[in-house]
A and B are shown apart, each in its own frame.
Chain A
Amino acid sequence: MKVDVHVTVNGRPTIWQVEDGERLLDTLRKNGHTEVKEGCGGGECGACTVALNGEIICSCCAFTQQVEGADIVTAAWVAEHNPALIDSLVNHNAVQCGFCTPGVVVAADNLLKKCTCNRHKLGTKEIKDNMEGNICRCTGYIKIIEAIAAAAEEERHEV
């Protein structure tokens, strides 16, 4: 039996009709949000990271029925609203195979929002602590850290 679930995805109110036990990841992908990737299906790799009411989650670990009324943000939204972050990742060569990148983008955007609110300088340790749920097998993470730090610096100067 299908159930209606009301959500806002990337700023657009939407009604989804979902199967019992459908994963949020599958619902998003079925509805065209293929920027959300499945890397492990077990909440281990972070490729399917989305922001749910301002907190990052692995969308493979949520049932769509659980997120009734939620505000969901994917990498496509971040691309539109935080192009400086995308520029920084791209300019630092922090993108290789790219499969983890949309998840990294959502998690990094979330971190940047938090640090902009507190207006503090973002250190390597804080970046690592907030990005540890996103596995990347290509870059060795160094360029990802550099890119996020640079994006944070830029935002700090703008605020």
Chain B
Amino acid sequence: MKFDVVGTSPVRLDAYDKATGKSRYTDDEPLPGVLYGAIAFSPVSHGLLKSVDVSKAKALPGVVKVMVAADLGDKYANNIGAVRADQPLLAYDHLRWRGDRLAIIAAESPEIARKAASLVTAEIEELPVIHTSEEALAEGAPKLHEMGNLADSMCIRHGDVEKAFSESPIILDNRYVVGYQDHAYLEPNSVVAIPGADGSLLLRGSMQAPFYVQGALAKVLKKPMSKIRVQQATTGGGFGGKEDYPNEPSAVASVLAFETGRPVKVIYNREEDLAYSTKRHSMIIEHKLAAKEDGTITAIKVKAICDAGAYLGISSIVAERANASATGPYRSPNVQVDTLVVYTNNAFGGAFRGFGAPQVTFALERQMDLLAEKVGVDPVEIRRRNTFSAGEISPLGDVVEADVNAMRVLELAAKKTPILKELKKGKEAHIKRGIGLAAVRYGVGLHAGGQRLEGSGALVQVNIDGSVRVNIGGAELGQGAFTAMAIIAAETLGVSYGRIYVGEADTMLVPDSGPTVASRTTVMSGNAVKDGCLIMKERLLKCAAADTGRKAGELDIKGDALIDKKSGEIIMDFATLANKAYCAKVNLVANGWYAPDRKIWNKEVGQGQSYTTYAHAVMVAEVAVDTITGQVHVEKMHAIHDVGQAIHHKGIEAQIEGGVVQGMGWAIMEELVIKDGKMLNPNFTDYIIPTIQDIPEIKITLLERPYKNGPYGAKGIGEPSLIPVAAAIGNAVANALKKPVMELPMNPERIKLNLLNK
């Protein structure tokens, strides 16, 4: 199909303001009378809180308010849990991790507020720390919550795995351990709460899910949601880290704002952000795979244990995707997956680009390479033999969709990358080269378990000068969502891209559209924008028909003008049309809405329609491992992605390049060092993320086959770009060293240990 705007690469709506420094992020907004909030965090990872002494903090000049749990009284609810009411806003009684808040402070400057926080002391009886999820599940382990340490679990039951294991000649039974990852968005968590005279609240901040924040604040403040307005300010990156965590600083700022009657900013510094915000879960994955002699998989059994940290947060939802991603794009008649979510005293597990899938993909794709080795075929052939095709029943219990692209991306990888070619040997004997492949089947949008949040709204307003304003419930985190919406609006209305302005996400303008996660915004909000624009276009054409005496069906809007469909004759320009419609009292605001069909899902056995659609991807990594230093150099990455229809070509490339580099960081360098529950490296000197010197060459191949329910055929791209990266690099390193790779990150220390193991 030929489009006017879709698939081109216009300049991003926000690019100039950001590049020139004009964009205002939360802390950039001038605000008279503003106070600064700070938090006194727990000095222990596990303990009983006897008392908190805030007298020194209160006495510090410039401090306006200091609050401990008791000060919340009946006025506020002391509960900030996103899914389960297991997390207090201010700690009392039981301290479960270093991110628990002993006291919150509002002061005239950020320096005074932090100084006051450092003066807070507490009497604490320390308790034994739970270091790992396995320790937490062991008998006799101290209980972190009344229900015990198993916070949640989900499963897949499909066929009979034990029977298949007893009958299959090949069994691969391995244990994989993957580490945490911090999002390291460049702008730390930042919010500002502005109390209204009438008891209402305006909360602005850096976030991915304004509707989550609105809901959380209504609960904590005990106020109706109608009085709480949340606006997303320009946001300096999210990657999942600003999905639910902003609820916490938002609640701190809001309580202090109502107590002082003044606006309160809470701006984390990097150390606080690294130590206390959510992380990609560390997981232990026991993976048992059975196959016939020719490599046909007969059974997959997975036990994935997610370390949630002290509170559930949204770990259950992350685990749901891990659970559903455990078998990838492969057929297996017998599947048993158990995904456990476990409370510990460690870092706070949460959402991060890929949402549980990168961890289980690493385990599965390592297993596939081991299977290939066992059978004696190449990595493409083993996957070819197991990748399912349209009409089959997937291990998730649904019928594989008609336009499944799993095999197509695999064949593209075989053709377009050197995965099947002999590697050139380097001159230096201590440099070992390797190549590896990994595949992913990514469910676009929310899992069936969360489908109630999937509905998405859009507001489309045509002004009498012919300019168009669009608002969506989704957020712009840097991924380019607003630019994609402007393209879709321009294409649908038949006007130029330059006419469209997309305003910030605001709970008062658009209905609850769920969170900006799950690579869902282009599809869900995009469809809502298209819907709103179609409604608007119909109104305009109806008005034009009455005005010109022609039939609405003979008219169209194209190239910023009302035209005669048949002859192409220009009847009037768009601004004239808009003005005429206004004078004819046409409603020039339209509300678009989109919600995918309801999915049938059986949680008891993990079977049903898990996702609305799937995006497939294959990643091929070429690495060079220095066996003297243990350093892995990722030289080249080949990314093959099924994107439906590209809405903005350069934007898609940018998403893929960013996802590849972020995934590479997790694979080979990023490591949260946690000792007795305390993060020891909360800074970028010791928590190392990729710099410009570390990047590989990246080759991108897009498979563009429009998706029938996507706006102009689009699918999501944000997360598939990261999910298979570590798995592909892991396979490449194993290929280079001829040794098993069972752990992430593959940093020099682990590579050297691996080389020492016989």
Contacts and interface: CB of A to CB of B under 8 A. Distances in A.
A93 B239 contact: no
Contact of A143 (B22, B657, B690): B657
Interface residues of A, number: 50
Contacts of A101: 18-19, 21
- Which of A74, A75, A98, A127 is packed against the most chain B CB atoms within 10 Å? A98
A102 to B, nearest CB: 4
Given A95-B18, A96-B654, A37 B692 contact: no
A1 interface: no
Contacts of A144: 692
A135 B691 contact: yes
Interface residues of B, number: 55
B631 interface: no
- Which of B16, B17, B238 is packed against the most chain A CB atoms within 10 Å? B16
A137 interface: yes
B446 interface: no
Main secondary structure of the interface of B (DSSP, over half): loop
- Which of A38, A39, A143 is packed against the most chain B CB atoms within 10 Å? A39
B184 interface: yes
A135 B689 contact: yes
Contact of A128 (B18, B185, B657, B692): B692
Contacts of B693: 128-129, 132
B21 A139 contact: no
A44 B9 CA distance: 33
Contacts of B685: 42, 44
A141 B21 CA distance: 19
A40 interface: yes
Given A96-B480, A134-B692, A37 B25 contact: yes
B547 to A, nearest CB: 40
Nearest to A105: B19
Nearest to B187: A99
Contact of A99 (B186, B239, B662): B186
A143 B662 CA distance: 15
B11 A138 contact: no
A117 interface: no
A155 interface: no
Which A-B residue pairs are the 7 nearest by beta carbons? A35-B21, A97-B478, A98-B18, A99-B236, A140-B657, A44-B684, A140-B661
27 contacts: A35-B21, A36-B21, A42-B684, A45-B270, A45-B684, A75-B19, A79-B21, A90-B12, A93-B9, A93-B650, A94-B654, A95-B12, A96-B237, A97-B185, A97-B236, A99-B25, A101-B21, A135-B184, A135-B186, A139-B657, A140-B658, A140-B660, A141-B657, A141-B661, A142-B695, A143-B653, A143-B657
Interface of A: 29, 34-42, 44-45, 47, 74-76, 79, 86, 89-102, 105, 127-129, 131-132, 134-145
